[in-house]
Amino acid sequence: MNAWGIAATAVVIIIFLIWGGLKISRLVRDASKYRRTLEELEATKKEYMTILREQHGILFKFKKINGQYRYTMGDGKLYYMLGLTQADIGKTMEEVMPPRMHDYIREIYDRAWAGECLQYESGFNEHTYLNSVTPIIENGVTVEVLVVGSDITERKLAEQQLQETNLLLSKLANLDGLTGIANRRYMNDKLEQEWVLGAAQGTVPMSVILCDIDYFKAYNDTYGHLEGDSCLKRVAAALDEYELPEGGFAARYGGEEFIVVLPETDERTAVRIAAGLGKCIELLDIPHQASKTSDHVTISMGVATVIPSQTSSRELIIHHADEALYKAKLMGRNQLQVYSDSYN
């Protein structure tokens, strides 16, 4: 081999050595990066498991073997609180779970094994857990299922308290601030609902009794507003506590006026109820020296009965009851009057 051949060979060898060195260096760097990634993943796993143990969490895997679900991994504080240990790995669901849960858990596991991601709640030792179930799929086939559970007890308690608060606020919004019975807002909403239902049937009567405390302004002037408020409360309670047909209720209509709504009630029954309400107010025996009809508090009432229809509105029945009440006052108060078409 001449000098040029030797030189060319040397150059090739040098290039190969440089390339090989670079390749080895890159492999070393990749191996180092892969090792760091594994270390980071392991650190993340340890951190996550610490959180699971501190917050009553649970993590486990299972797979379906010969038609049975067997656990392949388990950890977390709840896992051990359930009395499970690493010795339970490999056992079937039936061996680990209480018999009462078998059907419920099997349904969830079947859905997960079929490829569905889902969540379910479970309770243990006064704690509530939200469990996320995720199938691990390889080449379109489920090979394992991962279940991660977290303690949501505080969240559930907060949700319950919020619901109770909203319920209380809703109730308060529908009650009269002074008397504690239903207010006009509730009456309007409820009457509208009953009117729509009645109109859909088209044959069922509805009745309303509009009540007014006789000479209430004079009562306030004589006894003072505090006694006036007390009078309103007692009258309201008597109306509210009176036994009414199903769905019937009393509400404060405004000032010294009250209204009694009687769904699916005919005129005859409504008149009987109105007479009973008037008697209840008299039995309260609230002194009223300024009244021109009696020495105690009394009420005047207007009774109206209609059959709701889709071509009329709920204002119709209130308008009729108001006209009947006006006639009761005109006729001397302390009485009831029934609306008649002859008023028009």
**Kind of pairing, strands 249-254 and 206-213?**
unpaired
Burial profile 201-213: b = 16 or more Cβ within 10 angstroms, e = fewer: eeebbbbbbbbbb
Q: What per-residue confidence (pLDDT) applies to 173?
A: 84
CATH code linked to domain 174-343:
3.30.70.270
Residue among 282, 288, 279, 287 at smallest CA distance from 217: 288
Which pLDDT score is estimated for 22? 52
SS3 content of the chain, % helix, strand, coil (to 5): 50, 25, 25
Domain boundaries, the chain: 54-156, 174-343
Distance in angstroms (rounded) separating the CA atoms of residues 97 and 10: 73
Domain 54-156 identical in fold to domain 174-343: no
- CATH code given to domain 54-156: 3.30.450.20
Structure tokens at 70: 């067997």
Give the span between the Cα atoms of 305 and 317, in whole angstroms.
Answer: 7
Instruction: Note the pLDDT of residue 25.
Output: 57
Cα 13 to Cα 4, 9, 20, 24, 236, distances in angstroms: 14, 6, 10, 16, 109
Among 56, 57, 64, 68, CA closest to 95:
68
Q: Look at residue 1 in the predicted model and tell me its pLDDT.
A: 53
Helix (H) or strand (E) holding 151: strand 141-151
pLDDT in tens, the chain (344 residues): 555 555 555 555 555 545 555 555 565 465 566 566 656 655 555 554 454 455 557 778 889 998 899 988 877 766 666 677 778 888 888 888 888 888 988 999 999 999 999 998 877 667 788 888 889 898 889 999 888 888 888 888 888 888 877 777 776 789 999 999 999 999 999 999 999 999 998 899 999 999 999 999 999 999 999 999 999 999 999 999 999 999 999 999 999 999 999 999 999 999 999 999 999 999 999 999 999 999 999 999 999 999 999 888 889 999 999 999 999 999 999 999 999 876 55
Angle between helical axes of 225-241 and 216-223 (0-180°, round to 10): 130
Rounded to whole angstroms, the Cα distance separating 323 from 340 reads 9
Q: Quick one: 261 exposed, middle or buried, by C-beta within 10 A (0-12, 13-18, 19+)?
A: buried
Asked whether the whole model's pTM tops 0.85, one would answer no
